[in-house]
Amino acid sequence: MDSDNIILDMHIHSHYSRDSILSLKEISSYARREGVTPVICDHNSIQGSLKYNQLDYFHDDHVPSIISAEIKTTKGEIIGLFINEEIPPYLSPEETLDIIMDQGGIAVIPHPGDRYRKSAMKYEIISSLLPKIHTIEVYNSRTLSPGDIISAKKYATEHGLLVTGGSDAHCRWELFRTTVRIAPFDSPKEFLKNLRYADIRYKRSLPMYHLISIMSRRLRK
């Protein structure tokens, strides 16, 4: 691997997501130690991502700030990368994708077709949206079924989609389980270009960590 490449974890939830117990300071501390730039993708909010990038937290100097959110639509979740304004939840997927594109962002379908997540977008919906989708998250450390990873990879190959990955961490023990090693970039366009040649390293998280999210969500009602 090129020593100049940078390492990203492209799906992390901070405490700005109700089901995460990770503070921004904690994410930064582990990121600095591991040399990984975290991409904060909180549920229906860019506030955690904004604050992480505005404060003196760890971030590789060879990449721009990646403001992002995981947005719930009427048909499943979509991640918007490189966005600059809040995107309302519960719009149609088409409306959400249009807003992401209007902001100059990149649309990612997280954990596609995951059989255990109600929030996962089904493949028939994804297929209807393909002209507006830039990439799908084939590798998500919280995906429980290996078969779902295989199906996502096959779908990406068949449809010529770029592939990304992330830990989907909600607690510190999940951080950086899946990383993307990619050449430096300075724009969304260059990010997509370099993503084609990225090295994605995937490890599944222990299913028991899902219980932390359930408990956090209940306590923060």
What CATH number should be reported for the domain whose range is 6-219? 3.20.20.140
Cα separation, 177 vs 165, in Å, equals 10
Model pTM greater than 0.75? yes
Which stretch of 42-46, 79-83, 99-103, 217-221 has the lowest confidence by average pLDDT?
217-221
Annotated domain spans of the chain: 6-219
97 phi and psi angles, rounded to 5 deg: -65, -40
Residue with tokens 């229906």: 44
Per-residue model confidence (pLDDT) at position 72: 98
9 has pLDDT over 70 = yes
Helix (H) or strand (E) holding 33: helix 24-34
Per-residue model confidence (pLDDT) at position 1: 46
Which amino acid belongs to residue 20?
S
66 phi and psi angles, rounded to 5 deg: -110, 95
Q: 31 with 45: CB under 8 angstroms?
A: no
Q: For residue 14, give the nearest of 171, 207, 174 by alpha carbon.
A: 171
83 has pLDDT over 90 = yes
Q: What is the pLDDT of residues 38-60, one digit of tens each?
A: 999 999 999 999 999 999 899 89
